[in-house]
């Protein structure tokens, strides 16, 4: 199934509907929470390097701000759709609630392919983004962060444009900035490390020692890279990673049964997480089909690329050895696949719990910006560990006490917090 034929927002809404049924929410609360509070659809015209003018479509969705300013990434992707952004904004609302940070959920996207844009063209898109939204974003209303194919440089361009327009310093308006310009230590590691902290806690619960376990990853961007880094430090072995090849317009899996070498792969990987196929073969990696990551004989699968990657069409390919699926990406498992996997013995750590490390550290960055006092890396990562482990324990305890799966438990906890905030404010 192609990305275009799959509606991520419908999946997010159906997941919410199930939680709403379990909570017995009234009709007004259901309608309010299953749709965004505000949407911005706009265009960004820029001068290309060849002298032509090109117009890019963009979105910013503010799903809910009952618990605090909305926070969420800005992604650059040629296949971006408003429904993908809506889904990500909704999931961010539940993500911030389930890990207990005082923020709401938002997300943004620009339909573009950074692979084919110069740095100057990307800078113009970033500045144009801010010019279109400046009245509706800021540290007390809507905070942006890096997402798919955006990074700290993009955030700094956006911040600079925002501060230039307003004529004052507002470092907390954007997170994921370069460390020397108000960014937080540990932010780049946060999402990947958070995934592995959740995996560590799950393995404890399953009475499995992490030392000696094996894993396969989809994606080799920042999230996967740092998840692999921490996993290897804890004694695990990664035997396969899958990445997108922009030149051939398809993905490949790279396998080394005795364990990948993280630094060797990094040296042959572009800034978007694409591994050079020929160079990988030269240093001893098997180059397999893009779906091969899913079929490996491993203990842990980590889909950390894009949505709708585990579907009812490929769940039968998952090896019987797999014990945990940790969803590093947003919405990597379709609703039909989730129903199939729930009947299996595989333990699923749902996306908005597993990948919450990024928003936790974005919150830390904003706190540091507001204090104008910055923590060292060890302190940030220690705080991240506490937040992730606590959130995991809360969901796991609720799961056992109420005989619900981890996804349903995380949803019920998060939706209940947001619904209560809306009720307390008198909105519904």
User: Per residue in 201-236, pLDDT tens?
Assistant: 999 999 999 999 999 999 998 999 999 999 999 999
So what's the pLDDT on residue 98?
Answer: 97
Q: What parts of the chain have a pLDDT lower than 70? A: 1-5
What pLDDT, on a 0 to 100 scale, did the predictor assign at position 6?
77
- Classified as helix, coil or strand, 251 is strand
Phi-psi region of 209 (alpha: psi -120 to 50; beta: other; left: phi over 0): beta
Other CB atoms within a 10 A radius of the CB of residue 250 amount to: 10
For residue 1, the model assigns a pLDDT of 36
Report the relative pairing of strands 324-326 and 347-349 from DSSP bridges. parallel
Q: What pLDDT does residue 3 have?
A: 43
Distances in whole angstroms, Cα of residue 305 to Cα of each of 33, 64, 308, 384, 386:
27, 25, 10, 22, 26
> How far is it, in rounded angstroms, from Cα 242 to Cα 75?
20
Do 246 and 275 meet the contact criterion of CB atoms below 8 Å apart? no
| Whole-number pLDDT of residue 330 | 86
* pLDDT score at 2: 41
**pLDDT score, position 5:** 65
Domain architecture of the chain: domains with CATH: 37-183 (3.40.50.10860), 188-354 (3.40.50.720)
């Amino acid at each position: 199934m192609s990305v275009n034929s799959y509606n991520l927002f419908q999946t997010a809404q159906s997941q919410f509907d199930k939680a709403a049924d379990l909570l017995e929410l009234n009709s007004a609360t259901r309608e309010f929470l299953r749709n965004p509070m505000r949407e911005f659809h706009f265009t960004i015209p820029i001068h290309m390097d060849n002298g032509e003018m090109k117009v890019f479509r963009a979105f910013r969705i503010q799903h809910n701000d009952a618990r605090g300013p909305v926070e969420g990434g800005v992604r650059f992707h040629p296949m971006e759709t408003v429904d993908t952004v809506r889904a990500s904004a909704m999931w961010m609302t539940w993500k911030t609630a389930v890990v207990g940070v005082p923020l709401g959920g938002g997300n943004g996207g620009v339909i573009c392919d950074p692979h084919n844009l110069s740095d100057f063209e990307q800078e113009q898109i970033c500045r144009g983004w801010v010019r279109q939204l400046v009245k509706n974003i800021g540290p007390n209303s809507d905070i942006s962060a890096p997402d798919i194919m955006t990074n700290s440089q993009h955030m700094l361009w956006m911040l600079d444009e925002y501060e230039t327009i307003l004529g004052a310093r507002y470092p907390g308006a954007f997170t994921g900035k370069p460390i020397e310009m108000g960014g937080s230590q540990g932010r780049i590691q946060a999402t990947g490390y958070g995934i592995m902290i959740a995996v560590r806690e799950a393995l404890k619960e399953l009475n499995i020692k992490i030392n000696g376990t094996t894993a396969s990853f989809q994606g080799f961007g920042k999230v996967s890279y740092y998840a692999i880094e921490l996993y290897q430090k804890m004694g695990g072995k990664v035997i396969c990673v899958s990445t997108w090849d922009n030149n051939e317009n398809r993905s490949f899996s790279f396998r080394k049964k005795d364990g990948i070498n993280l630094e060797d792969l990094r040296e042959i990987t572009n800034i978007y997480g694409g591994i050079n196929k020929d160079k990988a073969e030269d240093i001893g990696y098997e180059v397999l089909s893009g779906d091969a990551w899913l079929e490996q004989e491993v203990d842990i699968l980590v889909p950390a690329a894009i949505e709708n990657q585990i579907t009812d069409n490929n769940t039968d390919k998952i090896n019987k050895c797999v014990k945990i699926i940790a969803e590093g990406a947003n919405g990597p498992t379709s609703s039909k696949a989730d129903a199939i996997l729930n009947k299996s013995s595989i333990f699923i750590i749902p996306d908005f719990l597993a990948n919450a490390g990024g928003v936790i550290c974005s919150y830390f960055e904003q706190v540091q910006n507001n204090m104008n006092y910055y923590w060292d890396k060890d302190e940030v990562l220690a705080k991240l560990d506490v937040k992730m482990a606590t959130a995991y324990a809360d969901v796991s305890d609720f799961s056992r006490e109420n005989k619900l799966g981890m996804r349903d438990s995380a949803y019920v906890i998060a939706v209940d917090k947001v619904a209560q905030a809306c009720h307390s404010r008198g909105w519904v």
